């Protein structure tokens, strides 16, 4: 991810959106640099790796510029962008794999009474651990835990049953806990 090396000019959000809608490349560049790092973080949460996240980011901004005329100036513009990037990431995952391939049949038991390891991790470490989850687990974990969608909303978005969403979240938590425990065991052996 390339970080901008220049200072963004002061432009109102309305002027920025209007300039982008009218096709001005300089305004589109400003919008990209203003929101790229935030939206890249969203893409990283869904992508299996860094390069795929870059692809999600690029595809997301193409959709943003194509749909910008639909933004109604109601609610948060950044929230509107985030929705596009989340949906774009899910759509890309769905196109690349069939859902049954995304959800391994892992019947491992749920670990109970474990320490709250998540509080001990830095954000970057947690993101790295979440990226190790299989695509389907990672997607549902992000939608439910990070984005705050309900199982009903997730089932509609992913075209799966609510029960599948719930069971996959449970399995994602178990798998993430296993990843975190393995990470801790590796650190202890150093």
pLDDT of residue 172: 93
In three-state form (DSSP H/G/I as H, E/B as E, the rest C), the secondary structure along 115-152 is CCHHHHCCHHHHHHHHHCCCHHHHHHHHHHHHCCCCHH
- Per-residue pLDDT of 55-105, as tens digits, reads 999 999 999 999 999 998 888 999 999 999 999 998 888 777 644 344 444
d(CA 177, CA 183): 10
Q: Which CATH number fits domain 97-190: 1.10.10.10, 2.40.50.140, 1.10.10.60, 3.30.70.20?
A: 1.10.10.10
- Please, where in the chain does CATH 1.10.10.10 lie? 97-190
The answer, yes or no, to whether residue 119 has pLDDT greater than 70, is: no
pLDDT of residue 189: 59
% pLDDT > 70, the chain: 78
pLDDT of residue 2: 54
Mean pLDDT to the nearest integer, 175-187: 79
Contacts of 108 (CB under 8 A, 6+ apart): 171, 174, 175, 178
pLDDT of residue 69: 94
The number of beta carbons lying within 10 Å of the beta carbon of residue 100 is 9
Instruction: With CA atoms as reference, report the closest residue to 40 among 110, 79, 89, 76.
Output: 89
pLDDT of residue 111: 39
pLDDT of residue 152: 94
Encode burial over 24-45: b for 16+ CB neighbours within 10 A, e otherwise. eeebbebbbbbbbeebbbbbbb
* Residue 115 pLDDT level (bands cut at 50, 70, 90): very low
Q: Which CATH number fits domain 1-96: 3.40.50.970, 1.10.760.10, 3.65.10.10, 1.10.1740.10?
A: 1.10.1740.10
- Please, where in the chain does CATH 1.10.1740.10 lie? 1-96
The answer, yes or no, to whether residue 25 has pLDDT greater than 90, is: yes
Mean pLDDT to the nearest integer, 160-164: 93
Category of 158 on φ-ψ map: left (φ > 0), alpha (ψ -120 to 50) or beta? alpha
């Amino acid at each position: 991810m390339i970080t901008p090396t220049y200072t963004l000019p002061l432009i109102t959000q309305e002027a920025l959106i209007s300039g982008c809608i009218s096709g001005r490349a300089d305004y589109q560049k400003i919008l990209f640099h203003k929101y790229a790092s935030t939206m890249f973080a969203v893409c990283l949460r869904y992508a299996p790796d860094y390069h795929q996240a870059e692809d999600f980011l690029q595809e997301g901004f193409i959709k943003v510029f194509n749909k910008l005329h639909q933004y109604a100036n109601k609610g948060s513009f950044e929230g509107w962008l985030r929705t596009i990037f989340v949906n774009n990431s899910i759509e890309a995952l769905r196109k690349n794999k069939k859902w049954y391939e995304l959800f391994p049949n892992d019947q491992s038991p749920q670990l109970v009474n474990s320490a709250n390891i998540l509080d001990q991790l830095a954000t970057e470490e947690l993101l790295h651990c979440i990226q190790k989850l299989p695509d389907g687990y990672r997607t549902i974990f992000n939608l439910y835990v990070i984005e705050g969608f309900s199982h009903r909303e997730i089932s509609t978005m992913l075209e799966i049953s609510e029960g599948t969403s719930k069971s996959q979240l449970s399995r994602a938590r178990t798998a993430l806990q296993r990843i975190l425990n393995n990470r801790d065991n590796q650190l202890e052996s150093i």
